[in-house]
Structure 1
Amino acid sequence: MAQHLRTAVQGGPTVAPTEIRDLAEAYSIASATRALALSDGETLAGYKVGLTSPSSRAVYQATEPAAGYVLTSTVLKDGEPLQTAGLAAPRAEVEIAFLLAEPLRGPGITPTDVLNATASIAPAFELVASRWTGGPKTLEMLVADNTNASHALLGEPRPVPADLSTTTCTLTIGTQTVDGTASAVMNGNPAASVAWLANHLATTGDHLAAGQLILTGTLCPPTPFTAGDTLKAEIPGLGSLTLATE
């Protein structure tokens, strides 16, 4: 299954929906897919957290967030357009990325520990797309497919403010405008996303390393776009982003 999903990431056909026994098997498939990517010469840029709001968890009947990984090759450079060929039903999310100065090893990591270990934060786009034909039907399918991770774009790093709970965003795609708020990310505490992730990774003996980035969850609903659209995001106090798509 990991090989099928890896092939789809590389532009191959999408994968027919498959029953996955439980979350343990789903994370095992995602781990195997990551191992295949690393064996191909890819490198790990960091991680991502999804399902950070009660409403998004309800869609998949999830009781906690979901973790994924971010490959260095999928982090776009400033001014680099997103190539949409091969992306099935892509969507845009506006997020706050944390950039770590120190490692975080769970269990027992708290949001305060995260803030103390963080070098900076940055506005970010996460672009998501599923490798399952028709999209993920279950939580297990979502997790196995690396929580729909596709690409990311980071803006200018900023010092970590004392409070992110009132942070808002505006996503503009053509004439469409979508608003968002940090209340969708762990009840207004994106640092809690990173803490959850560090503690989750500890269950398999993994940890967050210094220099890694963490996408903490979307402030706005995942919003569809098509090739040729220009995506713009504004996070007052943190900066703005513009991404062209082809």
Structure 2
Amino acid sequence: MSHSTRAVTPTAIDEAARRLAAAASTGTPCDPVRDLIGRDDVASAYAVQGRGIGARVDAGLTIVGRKIGLTSPAVQEQLGVDQPDFGVLLDDMAYTDGDVVPIGRFLQPRVEAEVAFVLRHDLADGALDVDQVRDAVAYAVAALEICDSRVAGWDITYADTVADNASAGAYVLGTEHHSLEQVEPREVAMSMTVTGQEVSVGTGAACLGDPLLAVQWLARRARDLGEPLRVGQVILSGALGPMRPVSPGATVAASITGLGTVSCTFTQEEA
């Protein structure tokens, strides 16, 4: 997908990773990294993401899953891309239904509601068709994803968001676990409120036509990149409706038919 005529150097990849890491550590959003790696160089963008995740794992964090982004045709069109992306979930990103989430850990938080899956089998071998993906799911659960961008003003191209771990921030899982015999992900309906006001609605079909197709895309992409999906991992399959900004003190709640509800409240303090 790269339209660039010049090769992206390892130095540029390192510099992009440093820029994003500095934004995260100082709490000050940075310039986009596309000046370093181009707007749509997929391999370089994932290389930057890998540097950032590697540094956090080296600091003691554990990979617990993946998030899929850009599953909505409208968002793909907005960024001028024709494929989703993914980021990595770490153990310090996990919250549970009803938790109070410190808003100061984010730079520019926005929240979306989605179906999450927890895996009972690896997705490393075989055809990775949708039947295999369905069989690998232990259960589905209602989730909120707290997206965040280290890039000032969310001024992102495809490469910027991929490099920035697909604009991942944190996530909140509901407490109701449902097998795929109990719920059909593409048929669910979602409503999300922020402090009591409905701000986002959508359906399972809004996520690449079926959240399981999003997981299939991810399973193949992750295996291609040498890091296949593993048993026990949490997979956030992509937004069912528009992403909305949140401010200090906000309570976000989502209801997804067949999966129940999930909510969190953000602290009043920004820092």
- Does the alignment reach a TM-score above 0.5? yes
- Which stretch shows the higher mean deviation, 206-215 or 14-23? 14-23
Q: Match of 2:166, as an amino acid?
A: T
Q: Where do 1:57-136 residues align within 5 Å?
A: 57-105=76-124, 108-136=127-155
Q: Contact 1:107–1:202 at 8 Å: present in 2 too?
A: no
Q: Contact 2:97–2:262 at 8 Å: present in 1 too?
A: no
**Match among 188, 209, 214 for residue 193 of structure 1:** 214
Structure 2 residues without counterparts, runs of 5 or longer: 1-15
- Which stretch shows the higher mean deviation, 113-122 or 197-206? 197-206
Q: Give me the whole-angstrom Cα distance separating, in 2, the residues matched to 1:163 and 1:174.
A: 29
Query: Taking structure 2 as the reference length, what is the TM-score of the superposition?
Result: 0.86
- Which stretch shows the higher mean deviation, 52-61 or 86-95? 86-95
Q: Contact 2:185–2:211 at 8 Å: present in 1 too?
A: yes
Q: Give me the whole-angstrom Cα distance separating, in 2, the residues matched to 1:217 and 1:11.
A: 28
Q: Contact 2:27–2:106 at 8 Å: present in 1 too?
A: no
SS at 1:42's partner residue? coil
The answer for the alignment partner of 2:237 in structure 1 is 216
Q: Give me the whole-angstrom Cα distance separating, in 1, the residues matched to 2:265 and 2:105.
A: 16
Q: Contact 1:106–1:198 at 8 Å: present in 2 too?
A: no
The answer for the alignment partner of 2:259 in structure 1 is 238
Do residues 184 (structure 1) and 202 (structure 2) align? Answer: no
Deviation at 1:5, TM superposition (A): 1.7
Q: Where do 1:31-50 residues align within 5 Å?
A: 31-50=50-69
- Which stretch shows the higher mean deviation, 72-81 or 25-34? 72-81
Q: Match of 1:184, as an amino acid?
A: A
Q: Give me the whole-angstrom Cα distance separating, in 2, the residues matched to 1:47 and 1:121.
A: 15
Deviation at 1:89, TM superposition (A): 2.6
Deviations 1:101-123 (A, max 9, x none): 00001673111111101111100
Cα 1:78/1:137, change in 2 over 3 Å: closer
Deviations 1:203-241 (A, max 9, x none): 221100100010000101001110101111111211101
- Which stretch shows the higher mean deviation, 108-117 or 22-31? 108-117
Q: Deviating runs (4+, > 4 A) in structure 1?
A: none
SS at 2:23's partner residue? helix
Q: Contact 1:106–1:201 at 8 Å: present in 2 too?
A: no
Q: Contact 2:110–2:246 at 8 Å: present in 1 too?
A: yes
**Match among 19, 26, 29 for residue 14 of structure 1:** 29
Larger helix share, 1 or 2? 2
SS at 1:153's partner residue? strand
Query: Taking structure 1 as the reference length, what is the TM-score of the superposition?
Result: 0.94
Q: Give me the whole-angstrom Cα distance separating, in 2, the residues matched to 1:11 and 1:42.
A: 19
Q: Contact 2:28–2:107 at 8 Å: present in 1 too?
A: no
Superposed CA RMSD? 1.5
The answer for the alignment partner of 1:159 in structure 2 is 179
Deviation at 1:175, TM superposition (A): 4.0
- Which stretch shows the higher mean deviation, 7-16 or 96-105? 7-16
Q: Contact 2:172–2:263 at 8 Å: present in 1 too?
A: no
Q: Match of 1:91, as an amino acid?
A: R
